[in-house]
């Protein structure tokens, strides 16, 4: 028994760590962001309630037979509404003192008198209280997992016209009571369908696990259920890239967990060093961090310098003296990202092999050198895509700009210092001989290699937001071990537009059954 207790104590730290894996990406939505969602959500609720289908009401009272059909919502007034966070996993949507205007068709048979016409009615004091539970589904996607709803109508009025108007007014209490009951019974089912089906289809547009390019993909699956306080909603995403050649590969996360404290903007997105490290590790595993320059692709000035540096070796290779040069740059280990309050940098180790390539003969290696460099990294948003641009020049952007000048874009940030050095893999003496190549090779990297790398990463990676929702007024802020993007939101597309885009096309049978049946004008049918 004691041994079992000791074993449990030993395993407890690992079990706790496994149950709380640090996220590579974290999103916080503030109450200001929720207010924007409420405005768009209210329009969506109005559209859904306007499509309420109320069953026909028919029956008899003494010698009277009646039929109420073709009920249609003509107007809604939802002036008093609120959307709030409710700890730990809920959103509360509350509508008070709303009004719903209706128009429906009436048919009445009294002895031999038959009357048809329309009735305008108004439901006042409508109260709707809904609670949405948010959770992570099996695929790691955010979903509305459950909904509770209560709806009530305080009073209802109707206006009548036609030859038997007095009769209708006599029966109005009975008819209006029935219509009030039927209408209140349809509000919650309509909102339940809107939430669990339509809004969940909108959440399906959030990228979870998809490909970034032909080499790597990104896993944005949720690690756990959302955490909701009275002011914020936070989502912890895995935020891990993977090589497409090894999609099941997992890179363990030892980075600092992002902590978001700000609440001034509508949304904050945080990325840890792990997020960027996994991207570079995936590119390394995919085998694409290799660049070759040969012949005319080698800059002329550099070629002259290299031939002068290795003149003795080349001279001994006659008749291969005039053979074209080949430069092969190959990253030797996965690059590592470092994020500090001063900026972001990427450390890279690589091999540079310089060879002559005589026609119809094996290449002749002139030198094999190791390179170590620390690249400046500018992180910024373009639309919903997070982009990183690497640079080898010695400059920095912070609150005061580059060397006191303003940065080219308010969402950029950059590490204050870049570093570059080369050395021989063979001997210290050869490293001294290579010292004269350091500046030209650095220029080669900056002018030739860096544009190739930045072109490959130009597309960026999409931040996990639903379709139709975009960022505005973005600001990138660095912290120790992670960076945050604070932004406001706007809807470039309405909820209805996105939902209709992904709604499955109804079948002919389903379409015909969803249409209200035309009432019969034959009195015998009553």
The angle that helices 495-502 and 31-50 make with each other, rounded to 10 degrees, is 60
Of 271 and 79, the structure prediction assigns the larger pLDDT to: 271
Look-up: residue for tokens 């496994």? 18
Same domain for 217 and 249: yes
Same domain for 199 and 93: yes
Same domain for 265 and 143: no
Q: 14: which 2 tokens?
A: 């690992």
Q: Name the burial class of residue 335, with classes exposed (0-12), middle (13-18) and buried (19+) by CB atoms within 10 angstroms of its CB.
A: buried
> Among 151, 177, 204, where does a domain finish?
204
Which of 43-57, 251-265, 495-509: highest mean pLDDT? 251-265
Note whether residue 291 is domain-resident. Answer: yes
List the CATH number of the domain containing 110: 3.15.10.10
Confidence of residue 319 (pLDDT cuts 50, 70, 90): low
The angle that helices 165-193 and 31-50 make with each other, rounded to 10 degrees, is 130
List the CATH number of the domain containing 267: 3.15.20.10
> Among 204, 220, 235, where does a domain finish?
204
Q: 330: which 2 tokens?
A: 């190959």
Q: Name the burial class of residue 426, with classes exposed (0-12), middle (13-18) and buried (19+) by CB atoms within 10 angstroms of its CB.
A: exposed
Look-up: residue for tokens 């490909």? 211
Note whether residue 2 is domain-resident. Answer: no
Q: Yes or no: say if 191 and 130 are a contact pair by the CB < 8 Å rule.
A: yes
Average pLDDT over residues 323-338: 90
Same domain for 248 and 296: yes
Q: 465: which 2 tokens?
A: 């937001």
> Among 204, 219, 239, where does a domain finish?
204
Same domain for 63 and 135: yes
Same domain for 112 and 236: no
Listed residue (87, 100, 89) closest to 151, CA to CA:
100
Same domain for 227 and 198: no
Which residue range is the domain that position 363 belongs to? 210-315+323-394+418-488
How would you write 221-254 as a 3-class SS string? CECCCCEECCCEEEEEECCEEEEHHHCCCCCCCC
Helix (H, G, I), strand (E, B), or coil: what is residue 492?
coil
> What 8-state DSSP symbol labels residue 324?
P
Same domain for 264 and 174: no
Note whether residue 149 is domain-resident. Answer: yes
Note whether residue 15 is domain-resident. Answer: no
Q: 154: which 2 tokens?
A: 């305080």
Question: Do you know the residue count of the chain?
Answer: 526
* Predicted pLDDT at 418: 52
Same domain for 220 and 200: no
Q: Yes or no: say if 329 and 294 are a contact pair by the CB < 8 Å rule.
A: no
Same domain for 365 and 293: yes
Cα gap 423→371, rounded to integer Å: 7
Note whether residue 501 is domain-resident. Answer: no
Q: CB within 8 A of 370, min separation 6: which ones?
A: 332, 349, 350, 351, 352, 422, 423, 424, 425
Same domain for 440 and 385: yes
Q: Yes or no: say if 153 and 145 are a contact pair by the CB < 8 Å rule.
A: no
Note whether residue 22 is domain-resident. Answer: no
What total number of domains does the chain contain?
A: 2
CA distances from 96 to 32, 126, 273, 386, 435 (A): 21, 6, 47, 41, 77
Note whether residue 505 is domain-resident. Answer: no
pLDDT digits (tens, 9 = 90+) for 462-507: 999 898 899 999 999 999 999 999 999 999 888 888 888 877 555 4
Same domain for 116 and 184: yes
Note whether residue 23 is domain-resident. Answer: no
* Predicted pLDDT at 427: 61
Share of the chain above pLDDT 70, in %: 77
Cα gap 187→427, rounded to integer Å: 81
Is the pLDDT at 168 greater than 70? The verdict is no
Confidence of residue 521 (pLDDT cuts 50, 70, 90): very low
């Amino acid at each position: 028994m004691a041994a079992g207790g000791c074993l449990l104590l030993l395993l407890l730290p690992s079990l706790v760590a496994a149950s709380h894996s640090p996220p590579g990406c974290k999103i916080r939505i503030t109450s200001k962001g929720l207010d924007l969602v409420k405005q768009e959500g209210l329009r969506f609720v109005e559209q859904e309630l306007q499509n309420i289908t109320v069953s026909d009401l028919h029956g008899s009272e003494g010698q009277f037979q009646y039929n109420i059909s073709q009920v249609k919502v003509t107007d809604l007034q939802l002036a008093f509404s609120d959307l709030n966070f409710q700890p730990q996993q809920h959103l509360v949507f509350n509508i008070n003192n709303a009004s719903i205007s209706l128009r429906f068709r009436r048919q009445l048979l009294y002895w031999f008198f038959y009357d048809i016409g329309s009735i305008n009615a108004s439901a006042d004091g409508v109260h709707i209280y809904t609670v949405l539970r948010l959770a992570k589904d099996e695929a790691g996607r955010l979903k509305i997992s459950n909904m509770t709803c209560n709806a009530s109508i305080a009073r209802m009025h109707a206006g009548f016209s036609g030859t038997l108007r007095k009769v209708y007014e006599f029966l109005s209490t009975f008819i209006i009571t029935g219509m009030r009951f039927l209408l209140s019974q349809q509000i919650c089912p309509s909102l339940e369908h809107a939430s669990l089906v339509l809004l969940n289809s909108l959440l399906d547009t959030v990228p979870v696990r998809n490909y970034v390019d032909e080499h790597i993909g990104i896993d944005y699956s949720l690690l756990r259920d959302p955490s909701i306080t009275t002011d914020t909603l936070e989502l912890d995403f895995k935020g891990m890239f993977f090589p497409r050649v090894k999609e099941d590969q997992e890179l363990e996360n030892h980075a600092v967990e992002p902590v978001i404290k700000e609440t001034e903007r509508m949304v904050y997105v945080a990325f840890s060093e792990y997020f960027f490290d996994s991207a570079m590790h995936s590119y390394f595993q995919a085998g694409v961090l290799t660049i070759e320059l040969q012949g005319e692709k080698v800059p002329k000035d550099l070629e002259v310098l290299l031939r002068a540096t290795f003149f003795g070796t080349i001279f001994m290779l006659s008749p291969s003296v005039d053979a074209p040069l080949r430069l092969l740059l190959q990253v030797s280990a996965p690059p590592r990202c470092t994020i500090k309050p001063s900026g972001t940098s990427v450390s890279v180790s690589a091999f540079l092999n310089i060879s002559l390539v005589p026609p119809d003969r094996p290449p002749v290696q002139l030198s094999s050198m190791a390179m170590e460099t620390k690249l400046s990294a500018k992180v910024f948003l373009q639309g919903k895509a997070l982009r990183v641009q690497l640079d080898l020049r010695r400059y920095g952007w912070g609150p005061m700009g580059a060397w006191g000048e303003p940065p080219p874009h308010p969402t950029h940030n950059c590490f204050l210092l870049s570093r570059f050095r080369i050395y021989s893999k063979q001997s210290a003496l050869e490293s001294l001989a290579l010292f004269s190549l350091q500046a030209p090779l650095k220029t080669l990297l900056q002018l030739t290699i860096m544009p190739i790398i930045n072109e490959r990463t130009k597309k960026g990676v999409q931040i996990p937001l639903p379709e139709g929702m975009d960022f505005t007024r973005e600001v990138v802020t660095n912290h120790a071990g992670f960076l945050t993007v604070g932004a406001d939101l706007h809807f470039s597309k309405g909820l209805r537009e996105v939902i209709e885009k992904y709604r499955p096309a109804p079948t002919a049978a389903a379409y015909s059954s969803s249409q209200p049946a035309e009432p019969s004008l034959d009195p015998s049918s009553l």
